[in-house]
Amino acid sequence: MAAEGGPSTVNGMVDLHSHILAGLDDGARTLEESVQIAETAADDRISVMAATPHVRDDYPTAAETMERLVLELEGILREKGIGLRVLGGAEIAIQRLKTLSDRELSIFGLGGNPHYLLVEFPYFGWPLSLETEIWTLRSRGITPVLAHPERNPEVQLAPARVAALVAAGALVQLTAASVDGRLGRRNKHTAATLIASGHAHIIASDAHWPGLRAGGLSNAAAAVGDPELASWLTQGVPSAIVEDEPIPPRPQTKPKSLRRRLRI
């Protein structure tokens, strides 16, 4: 997972979790809001955004629908001169993984890469089957990216539990609004703990618009307090996923110094 790869060809930050597609879930309600999310992202120096609508019982998004709406939105953004590339994806509930065909899972590949899937970490409880699901996906050549575990009370009580999931082969994505404190002290502390322990790999906006989870990564990157590590979290790792390159090694940091900067 940590093999060294070549330099990224993506300019700017890469946001691998958003609800930019209109009318599919609890994200953008209209095309106008989709465009606003894109404008906010481009203004924040984000060059690539993955559209990751929910795939769960209350929002059973079809792979073909996601794919079609991404192409339509890409065309509109080009017409408007908004410099944001939109790629496919989905935020898939754990219990839905077994119900999707290989073809659907491939279409839902994170950032257009069928070797990665964004898997929604539940907001409550600890799924007993989670490690098994991770191993199952890894045996099929798919790396699960766990979305926002820092917002789960079980993780907040014992962040070290995430280590076993990472050891099983998962990557961890933190919400930008957790990292910079917009979602409260508990989320911020847990996100900082996961970063300091080396059990976080990606920061993404989870943009829904409007409100706390608007687009943008720069404030969260600044909150990390280490420019090289922040770049790894917002560009290095997500760019490698988009380009299907090996995940670059995590920058060397001094744990005590990093903890001070993160104010743990």
pLDDT tens for residues 205-219? Answer: 999 986 656 779 999
Q: Is residue 5 part of a domain?
A: no
**Percentage of residues in the chain having pLDDT higher than 70:** 94
Q: Is residue 88 part of a domain?
A: yes
Q: Mean pLDDT, to the nearest integer, of 139-145?
A: 97
Sign of CA dihedral 250, 251, 254, 259: negative
Q: Mean pLDDT, to the nearest integer, of 169-181?
A: 97
Q: Is residue 7 part of a domain?
A: no
Q: How confident is the model at residue 9 (pLDDT cuts 50, 70, 90)?
A: low
Q: Is residue 1 part of a domain?
A: no
Q: Is residue 32 part of a domain?
A: yes
Structural domain range at position 195: 13-262
Whether pTM exceeds 0.85: yes
pLDDT of 35 strictly over 90: yes
Q: Is residue 8 part of a domain?
A: no
Question: What is the tally of structural domains in the chain?
Answer: 1
Instruction: Tell me the CATH number at 190.
Output: 3.20.20.140
Q: Is residue 236 part of a domain?
A: yes
Q: Is residue 6 part of a domain?
A: no
pLDDT tens digits, one per residue of 219-255: 999 999 999 999 999 999 999 999 999 999 999 887 6
